[in-house]
A and B are shown apart, each in its own frame.
Chain A
Amino acid sequence: MAVADVLTLLVNSLTWAMATFLVAAGLTLVFGTLHILNFSHGGFFMIGAYVAYSLAQAVGASDSVALYLFGSLAAGVLVALLGLVVDRLVLRRLAGVEDAYILIATYALLLVCEGATKLVWGLKYQSVMPPQALDGAWVLGQAVVPRLSLFIIAAGVLTYAALEIFLNRTRGGRLVKAIAADAWMARLMGINVRRVYTATVALGFALAGLAGGLLLANQALSPSLASAFVIYAFGVIIVGGMGSISGAFAGSILLGLIDAVGQWVLPTLPGLPFFAAMTLILLLRPQGLMGRRQ
Chain B
Amino acid sequence: MSATAFFGAGLRRDLLVLAALVVAGLLLPAALNRGLIFIAGMVWINAVFGLSFNLLFGLSGVLSFGQAMFFAAGAYGAAVLTQQWNVPFLLALPLSALFGGLLAGTVGAVALRRNEGVYFAILTLAFAELLHLLVVNTALLGKNDGLSGLARPVLGAAGLRLDLGAGDNFYYFIVLACAAAIALIRWVVATPFGRALQAVKQDPDRAEFLGIPVRMHRLAIFVFAGAMTAFAGALVAPWAQIVTPELAHWSNSTNPILFTLLGGSAYFWGPAMGAVMLSAVFYVTRTLVGISDLVTGLLLLSVVLALPGGVLGLADRLLRATRHRSAGHAGKEAEA
- Cα of A117 to Cα of B297 in the assembled complex, Å: 13
Closest A residue to B290 using CB positions: A118
Closest 9 CB pairs of A and B: A118-B290, A111-B297, A115-B294, A115-B293, A112-B297, A108-B300, A119-B290, A100-B63, A108-B301
Given contacts A108-B304, A227-B251, contact A115 B297 (CB under 8 A): yes
Q: Does any Cβ of A come within 8 Å of B250's Cβ?
A: yes
Among A108, A109, A110, A269, the one with the most B-chain Cβ atoms within 10 Å of its Cβ is A108
The CA of A278 and the CA of B57, in the complex, are separated in Å by 23
Contact of A104 (CB < 8 Å), options: B114, B133, B251, B261: B261
Using known A-B contacts A111-B300, A115-B293, determine if residue A105 contacts B305 with beta carbons closer than 8 Å: yes
Within 8 A of A (CB), among B253-300: 254, 257, 261, 288-300
Residues of B within 8 A of A109 (CB): 297, 301
* Candidates A100, A223, A275; contact of B130 at CB < 8 Å: A275
Contact B133 A272 (CB under 8 A): yes
The distance in angstroms between the C-alpha atoms of A115 and B298, with both chains bound, is: 10
Per-residue B-contact encoding for A224-237, CB less than 8 Å = 1, 0 else: 00010001001100
Residues of the A chain whose Cβ atoms lie less than 8 Å from the Cβ of B295 = 115
CA distance A103 to B57 in the complex (A): 13
Contact of B292 among A115, A116, A234, A283 (CB under 8 A): A115
Q: Does B38 reach chain A (CB closer than 8 Å)?
A: no
With A279-B123, A283-B113, A286-B119 as given contacts, are A101 and B304 in contact (CB-CB < 8 Å)? yes
Q: Is the CB of A276 within 8 A of B130?
A: yes
The residues of A that contact B289 with a CB separation of less than 8 Å are 118-119, 122-123
27 contacts across the A-B interface (CB closer than 8 A): A37-B118, A97-B304, A99-B118, A101-B308, A105-B300, A108-B304, A110-B297, A111-B296, A112-B294, A114-B290, A114-B293, A115-B291, A115-B292, A115-B296, A119-B288, A122-B289, A231-B250, A238-B122, A269-B137, A271-B129, A272-B133, A272-B137, A275-B126, A275-B129, A279-B110, A282-B123, A286-B119
- B216 part of interface (Cβ distance < 8 Å): no
Contact of A90 with B by CB under 8 A: yes
Contact assessment for B63 and A103 in the assembled complex, using a CB-CB cutoff below 8 Å: yes
Q: With a CB–CB cut-off of 8 A, which chain B residues contact A268?
A: 137
Residue contact B63 to A279, C-beta cutoff 8 Å: no
> Nearest-CB distance from B307 to chain A (Å)?
12
Residue in chain A with minimal CB distance to B119: A286
Residues of A bordering B, CB below 8 Å: 37, 90, 93-94, 97, 99-105, 107-119, 122-123, 223, 227, 231, 234-235, 238, 268-272, 275-276, 278-279, 282-283, 286
A272 contacts B304, CB within 8 Å?
A: no
Chain B nearest CB, measured from A32 CB (Å): 14
Q: Which residues of A contact B119 (CB under 8 A)?
A: 282, 286
Decide: A111 and B294 in contact? CB cutoff 8 A.
yes
Chain B 105-125 interface 0/1 with A at a Cβ cutoff of 8 Å (1 = within): 000001101100111011101
The reply to whether the CB of B127 lies closer than 8 angstroms to some CB of chain A is yes
Q: Does B180 count as interface, using CB distance less than 8 angstroms? A: no
Q: Does any Cβ of A come within 8 Å of B134's Cβ?
A: yes
Between B118, B289, B308, the greatest number of chain A beta carbons within 10 A of the residue's beta carbon is seen for B118
A282: contacting residue among B122, B300, B305, CB under 8 A: B122
CA distance A116 to B292 in the complex (A): 10
List the A side residues contacting B251 at CB < 8 Å. Answer: 227
Complex alpha-carbon distance, A279 and B117, angstroms? 16
Tell me if B304 and A104 are in contact (CB < 8 A).
yes
**Which of B114, B126, B300 is the one whose CB lies under 8 Å from A235?**
B126
Q: Which residues of chain A come closer than 8 Å to B114, judged between CB atoms?
A: 282-283, 286
By a CB distance below 8 angstroms, the chain A residues around B288 are 119
Select one of A114, A123, A283 contacting B123, CB under 8 A.
A283
Give bound CA distance, A93 to B305, whole Å. 7
Query: Complex formed: what's the CA distance from A278 to B129 in Å?
Result: 11
Q: Is B301 within 8 A of A90, CB to CB?
A: yes
Q: Which residues of B contact A278 (CB under 8 A)?
A: 126
Chain B residues in 8 Å Cβ range of A100: 57, 63, 118, 121
Q: Closest A residue to B63 by CB, please name it.
A: A100
Indicate if the CB atoms of B133 and A112 lie closer than 8 Å.
no
Smallest Cβ distance from B254 to chain A, in angstroms? 6
Chain A contacts for B123, CB-based, 8 A: 279, 282-283
A116 and B290 within 8 A (CB): yes
